[in-house]
Amino acid sequence: MKQRILAQIPDSHPWRSLVQYLEETDSTNDRVKALAKTGAPHGTAVIAGQQTAGKGRLGRSFHSPGGMGLYMSVLLRFPCLPDQLMHLTCAAAVAACDGVEKATGLRPGIKWTNDLVSDGKKLGGILTELVSAPDGTCAIIGIGINCGQAQEDFPPDIRDMACSLAMCGAADPSPASVAAALLEALEKVSWELTTGKKPILEQYKKDCITLGKEICILQDGAAVHARAVNIGEDGALVAKYADGQTRSIRFGEVSIRGMYGYV
């Protein structure tokens, strides 16, 4: 697998020599976090054939069976504090869409904040973790993409909500080609971030399928209905409530009416 990934990354790519492949690991995010502590450079990537403890957002797990998906984490180092990187999660999502599109011809949508969706179903997800370092911040961008699954390969509890590149009719949905394209897209976006976040946020808004939709926000055990109207400069979702007020949402679960079983 590692050779298949490297075969698709140009020799001149600065991150080519920083790719590690593991047949099986607990979580590629945890592996990269451990490498970051030992001083691993910007661009270090860990890709696994399967994960035994794949992590999702909000403390959930990410189903990571062998031979069917891409599980990849990349270390990005920034010379700033974590609170200056709130838009990074949007940048990672745009890079993921760029990479999947380059590898397969299919551009996923983004369900705020970081679900990759196609045909109204979840194709993958992104877990961004930030860790303070003496010289700035380490960002661990973990991307999981369902590549070869058929519907019956998903566990019953997510079967109706999940899809794969193969199910969406993507050309060449191999984890190796998607991994190579994602690495290139992440490197490009990490450069673009140094020259200003505006174009990335504009692209995020184009890809974000949550905008304009009726949503249900679950925060601190309460469900509130609103309409998603914008994405803030920090990547927050701006929602307009029934009383006409707008508020920014930075965390929590947001369901879109008509998706993932929410009617």
- Residues at the site binding ligand BTN, with contacts judged by CB under 6 A: 27-29, 51, 54-57, 60, 62, 71-73, 115, 125-127, 142-144
Please, which residue, 57 or 227, has the CB nearer to ligand BTN? 57
CB of 186 to ligand BTN, least distance (A): 13
Integer Cα distance of 43 and 187 in angstroms: 7
Please, which residue, 115 or 187, has the CB nearer to ligand BTN? 115
Does residue 5 contact residue 47 with C-beta atoms inside 8 Å? yes
Integer Cα distance of 146 and 69 in angstroms: 5
Please, which residue, 56 or 240, has the CB nearer to ligand BTN? 56
Residue nearest to ligand BTN (CB): 125
Integer Cα distance of 106 and 100 in angstroms: 7
DSSP E strands: which ranges in 58-189?
A: 69-78, 109-111, 115-118, 121-133, 136-146
Does residue 35 contact residue 209 with C-beta atoms inside 8 Å? no
Integer Cα distance of 95 and 181 in angstroms: 9
CB of 172 to ligand BTN, least distance (A): 20
Please, which residue, 47 or 85, has the CB nearer to ligand BTN? 47
Q: Note the maximum CA span of the chain.
A: 57
Please, which residue, 108 or 142, has the CB nearer to ligand BTN? 142
Integer Cα distance of 95 and 204 in angstroms: 10
CB of 161 to ligand BTN, least distance (A): 11
Please, which residue, 16 or 57, has the CB nearer to ligand BTN? 57
115 forms beta bridges with: 111, 125
Compute CA distances 260 → 115, 152, 157, 223, whole Å: 11, 17, 11, 16
CB of 240 to ligand BTN, least distance (A): 26
Integer Cα distance of 104 and 96 in angstroms: 12
Query: Measured at the alpha carbon of residue 161, what is the angle toward residues 157 and 166, in degrees to the nearest 5?
Result: 115
CB of 67 to ligand BTN, least distance (A): 15
Please, which residue, 56 or 232, has the CB nearer to ligand BTN? 56
CB of 46 to ligand BTN, least distance (A): 9
CB of 12 to ligand BTN, least distance (A): 26
